[in-house]
Amino acid sequence: MILESIIIVIYSVALILIFLYALAQLNLLFNYLRSKKNNSTCPKFDLSNPNEVPHVTIQLPVYNELYVMERLLNNISEIEYPKDKLEIQVLDDSTDESFEATAAQIKELQATGLDILHVTRENREGFKAGALKEGLKTAKGEFIAIFDADFLPKKNWLLNTIPYFKNPEIGVVQTRWGHLNREYSLLTRVQAFALDAHFTLEQVGRNSEGHFINFNGTAGVWRRECIIDAGNWQGDTLTEDLDLSYRAQLKNWKFKYLEEVETPAELPVVISAARSQQFRWNKGGAENFQKMLWKVLKNKNASFKTKVHGLLHLLNSTMFLNILIVAVLSIPMLYIKNEYTHLKTYFIIMSFFVISTLI
């Protein structure tokens, strides 16, 4: 009966976690629908007034992006913003032939009067987090916009995001990802569907009720003061963006999510790249759950509901594992159900939680 007891405990925990996560997602759906009826306005900078235009630094952390660097730099160089208030940092850790090509293109852009710098390091300590932290040391901007190499923000991107920082409590403005190659294959369509669910239901559902959300690593802007106050970029997890997001919100910084501002990007087109990306996100989520669990629980400023949503958000990476556990253990659980009739009440109760798999 010892083995059976272990199976029952593991199965029950996995099923209950799935149930709680499903309830949270249902709550986010209601939040999302309710937010569409909310027409509240926010204070904004008037960028037509030169005295209200803040200095912005765009950071482009790149590593061996040979095939997209030229397109990225051409795109970023066309962003509409007063040139005397805009700085661009190419945080280049590349070790391939893209390094020289990038350096040459940067020199050409500098000749046009663009304030663009090629920032390099002797080593890749901290990887992306380390590159962002290194660039921040010399960044001129009060606000730091970040784009990965496969993102192509529209020309008016800064004009649509920076004004929201008029509210001194806002530490981050995050935009919605778009998908340039959504229809390329079944793989890209599946990825786009999953990401769209996150960038609509989850981000809006959490943000509209003041729950914790995350900066998505790219296509967003940080207030420099917020980064420093939250402890700066740290490279001890695979998802440094999620880590800093929670540290900032635990210090009472507010995040603003803009569903209406789309930032187009390319999705991975081969399974190996998509698998690598998912592994990084899932492992990073698990690392952040371990790092942030007690900090979230002990935080005195967050409501109970915000803490629950926060923990389930951090546990998101375990849901696939929980579903797998429930599926695999369903077979021995059928045996236990037939063999141990005195557990009838338990199975009646657990059948209620199975409903969560349909939500």
pLDDT digits (tens, 9 = 90+) for 104-145: 999 999 999 999 999 999 899 999 999 999 999 999 999 999
The answer to whether the beta carbons of residues 65 and 98 sit under 8 Å apart is: yes
Q: Catalytic: which of 92, 150, 241, 243?
A: 241
Q: Catalytic: which of 93, 148, 150, 243?
A: 93
Q: Point out which residues pair with 254 in neighbouring strands.
A: 170
The answer to whether the beta carbons of residues 36 and 347 sit under 8 Å apart is: no
CA atoms within 13 A on the CB side of 340: 14
CATH number for the domain that contains residue 197: 3.90.550.10
Within-domain flag for 102: yes
Q: Please, what's the b/e burial string for 136-151 (b: 16 or more CB within 10 A of its CB; e: otherwise)?
A: beebebebbbbbbbbb
Is residue 93 flagged as an active site residue?
A: yes
Within-domain flag for 327: no
Q: Which residue has the tokens 């199965």?
A: 11
Amino acid at 279: F
Domain that holds residue 223: 50-316
Within-domain flag for 127: yes
Over residues 63-110, the pLDDT tens digits come to 999 999 999 999 999 999 999 999 999 999 999 999 999 999 999 999
Within-domain flag for 38: no
Which positions ≥6 away from 100 have C-beta within 8 Å? none
Number of folded domains that form the chain = 1
Is residue 241 flagged as an active site residue?
A: yes
| Strands laid side by side in the 254-265 sheet | 116-119, 86-92, 56-62, 143-146, 220-223, 170-179, 254-265
pTM recorded for the entire structure: 0.92
- Specify whether the backbone of 126 is left (phi greater than 0), alpha (psi in -120 to 50) or beta: left
